[in-house]
Every structure is written in structure tokens, then in C-alpha cells.
Amino acid sequence: MAKPKLKKIPTAQVRLGMYIEGFCGSWMDHPFWRSKFVITDAHDLSLVHGCAIKEVLIDVSQGLDVAPAAATNADPATVAAEPQPPVVSTEVLASSDNEAVSMRDEYQRAAAICKAATGAVRHMFAEVRMGRAIDQEVARQVAEEITDSVLRNGGALISLARLKTADGYTYMHSVAVCALMVALARQLGLSEAETRAAGFAGLMHDLGKADVPLEVLNKAGRLTEAEFAQVRLHPEHGHRRLLAAGVDDPMALDVCLHHHERIDGKGYPKRLAGEAISRMARMGAVCDVYDAITSNRPYKEGWDPAESLAKMAQWTHGHLDAAIFQAFVRSLGIYPTGSLVRLSNGKLAVVVEQSGASLLKPIVKTVYSIRSQERVQPQRIDLSAPDNRLQIEKRENPKDWQIPNLDAIWMDELAQPSA
């Protein structure tokens, strides 16, 4: 194989037949899951020309060089055989550090990351369905962006990732589980390297669903036994796909293969039980289940976050690891963002943010008066504030009150700039 001969050229000079070795910018600024491929399609070429990336690396040993007329304007110097790491786009992320910020301050960045990451996962699945190997380098970039957001403030991206359309569930589910794994790893006291590995494992855990027929994956009704048998193969499909892509990360491989194992040994594909299931795979099981039951699916509406935690607590006797589940609750809060609660003053409120002072005293926004049975002027209340006398009496099921657009309430609250 010829030794790579790389050139950095303006994006506008890319033409059909060139081999793209890498984009000189963040993965969020271009629409391709792959970072190394030949431009053979006119549509792909137009996407390259129209993206926010200003320069690309081409390998002229594997594809065409710049056109003669443009050669005098291109950078004639070849660059190192391995491209430099992508640059984080400052247009999307205000900073690259992971200093803690408020949920409101992280909201806009998290929204951009969530949208771009979901699109990247959608493209990854499409590549797999066409028989192509995934681009591990880009996948790791996606996981790193999500991880950084969660380390700044886990509540923002995790709350946004719960809001899924039924047809987009599979793709955003991977983003959500990535974020949940990072938050859980941090709560468990894992090292930064292990925390980032947990995030990558979460992002890749459902890759095998790309091998499940779409008509089965998106079926609105109950699956037949034969269809469910197809779905049950996805951990092994994903494990094989990761190996084929050169992924040698033991945590990612383990979580992909074993996130449907159960503590009582009744899971799949290997029917492992108890300590035979790795801690990382047990973490993956908890995060996978929570996001699945809180999300809208083709065949059912998602449960309220607080209701979901209450249900999951009942499953720690056989399905989920009890100690890991307890840590998971601490990472989210007993009343996660978006939960509907009853306050001691007879009003219903939506949890908009965790206070950090107490799991039982989040920041809420009032929405309804039980006494007058009508909507109220929204009021933001920090239940952990020293002068506050209100407390949560219990969680409420939103379906019992039929208050529309509860999610919009906390989203609008966070979208407002900080005071």
C-alpha cells in the first residue's frame, strides 16, 4: 500500500475522486459519520462544500489531487502521515474545560451537542446497514463531547435526551445512555479515564440494532416471538460490528454484549448472573432501562421520570443491581428534571433543576393549583433555599392531571439567559 501523502486544502477545492483523510474541525461542523472516504457522490460533494469546515486533509496517494488551476492556491506542503486531532468548534462550545456550570448555562451547548450527536448516530446506523464499518475515531469524538457536557452539568443534556420522537428513539437512545453512563460513573467515583470509557460504551451499546430490520425496530404493536428473537440478537451483532471496526476497548465490547443480562440470570445473550456480569455492564443495564421506559416509543408513551425510578426500584430484586441503581438515583435526583410533584402549599410544580443541596429539595416551577383547579402564574422556587418553607409531599402522575406541555415548561425556563 502506498505511503499516505496528505495535503491540507480549502473545502471549496474538494472535488469528486478525492480521498478525504480528515476534516480540520469539530465533527459537529460536518454531516459525515465517516472521516476517511472517497468522494464519489455529487450529493456528498455538495455537503462538503456547504459545511462549516474550512479545510480538509486529502490523501493524494488514494485519490485525486487538487485541480491544476487550483494547485497554486493550495497549500503545497504535505503534512504528517497522521492527521492532527480535530479542533473543537468554538461556535458551538464556549470553552473546552469541564468546570461545573449551572444547568441553565449548559442548556444551549447541550442542545447543540444533543442534536448533532443524534444525527451522527443516525448516520452511523445507516453506514452499518449499508455494510460499512463504523468510524471509531468520529464515534469517540461524539462520546467526548457528550461526556464534557455531562461533566459540566449532567442535568442539561440528560434531560434533553429524554425528549424523543418515536421514530428517532433508537438514535437519541444511544446519546442518552452515553450521558447517563457518564453521570453514573462519576457518582460511583470512577476515574476520569473510566468515566470517559463508560460514555463511549454507552454510545455504542445498541449498535447491533442497525442489523435489526426497520419494520421490526419501529413496529407500533407487540412483537411476535420471531420478531423478538431478531431483536434479542442485537448485542451479539453489535459486538461483532465493534470488533470489525477495530474497537478493542474492553468496556465498550462488554457493555455492548451484556447490557441485557439480568442479576437473576434470566437475561440474554449469555444468561450471566450476579457478579459474573461486570460492573460496567450492570451500569449499562440500569441506564438502558431508565431511558427506555422514560421515552416515547412506537408502541407506548414514556413514563414520568420520578415514576420510572419508583418502578425500577421494584426491579432490583432480580433484574437490576441494587447498589448501582441507588447510585443512579443519586446521580439524577429522587425527582429528576421534568417530574411533576405536589408541594405542601397545594400546588403542582415541575422540577426544572437539581439544587445540589438535597436530593429531596430540587428547584421547581409551579404550574397548577389543586385548590382552585386551574393553572397558576409560574413561580420558580428553590426548595433548598434557607428561607423556603415549602416541601414536596409526593410525586404526581402527569396523566392524572392532563396538564399539557410539561416538558416545555422546564425547557422554556432553562432557555432563558442567566440573570
Claim to verify: residue 268 and residue 284 sit in the same structural domain: yes
Claim to verify: residue 215 and residue 357 sit in the same structural domain: no
Cα 375 to Cα 388: distance, rounded to the nearest angstrom:
22
Claim to verify: residue 72 and residue 195 sit in the same structural domain: no
Residue 87 lies in a domain: no
Any idea what DSSP says for residue 167?
G
Claim to verify: residue 205 and residue 151 sit in the same structural domain: yes
pTM (two decimals): 0.78
* Final residue in a domain of this structure, among 332, 360, 386: 332
Length of the chain: 419
Residue 96 lies in a domain: no
Claim to verify: residue 269 and residue 319 sit in the same structural domain: yes
* Final residue in a domain of this structure, among 332, 354, 385: 332
Claim to verify: residue 190 and residue 282 sit in the same structural domain: yes
Residue 91 lies in a domain: no
C-alpha distance across the termini of the chain, in Å = 59
Give me the DSSP letters along 253-316: HHHHHHTT--TTS--SSS---GGGS-HHHHHHHHHHHHHHHHS-BTTBPPPPHHHHHHHHHTTT
How many domains does the chain divide into?
3
Question: Which 3-state string (H, E, C) describes 222-238?
Answer: CCCHHHHHHHCCHHHHH
Q: What is the CATH number of the domain that holds 147?
A: 1.10.3210.10
Q: Is beta strand 380-382 parallel, antiparallel or unpaired with respect to 363-369?
A: antiparallel
Residue 211 lies in a domain: yes
Give 64's Cβ-side CA count (13 Å radius): 14
Question: Which 3-state string (H, E, C) describes 210-226?
Answer: HHCCHHHHCCCCCCCHH
Residue 86 lies in a domain: no
Cα 15 to Cα 281: distance, rounded to the nearest angstrom:
45
Claim to verify: residue 163 and residue 303 sit in the same structural domain: yes
Residue 95 lies in a domain: no
Residues 6+ apart with CB under 8 A from 167: 218, 298
Claim to verify: residue 136 and residue 27 sit in the same structural domain: no
Specify which residues 95 forms β-bridges with: none
Claim to verify: residue 271 and residue 141 sit in the same structural domain: yes
Residue 197 lies in a domain: yes
Whole-number pLDDT of residue 91:
34
Claim to verify: residue 297 and residue 351 sit in the same structural domain: no
Give the domain range for residue 129: 103-332
Residue 208 lies in a domain: yes
Claim to verify: residue 51 and residue 25 sit in the same structural domain: yes
* Final residue in a domain of this structure, among 79, 112, 144: 79
Claim to verify: residue 208 and residue 239 sit in the same structural domain: yes
Along the 419 residues of the chain, how does pLDDT read in single tens digits? 567 788 899 998 998 889 898 888 776 677 676 667 888 888 788 888 888 888 888 988 888 898 776 555 544 444 443 333 333 332 333 334 567 777 778 888 888 899 889 989 998 999 899 888 888 888 999 999 999 999 998 888 998 888 877 668 889 999 999 999 999 999 999 999 999 999 999 999 999 999 999 999 888 888 999 999 999 999 999 999 999 999 999 999 999 999 999 999 999 999 999 999 999 999 999 999 999 999 877 777 888 898 899 999 999 889 999 999 999 999 998 999 889 999 999 999 999 888 878 888 999 999 999 999 998 988 999 999 999 999 999 999 888 888 877 777 777 766 665 55
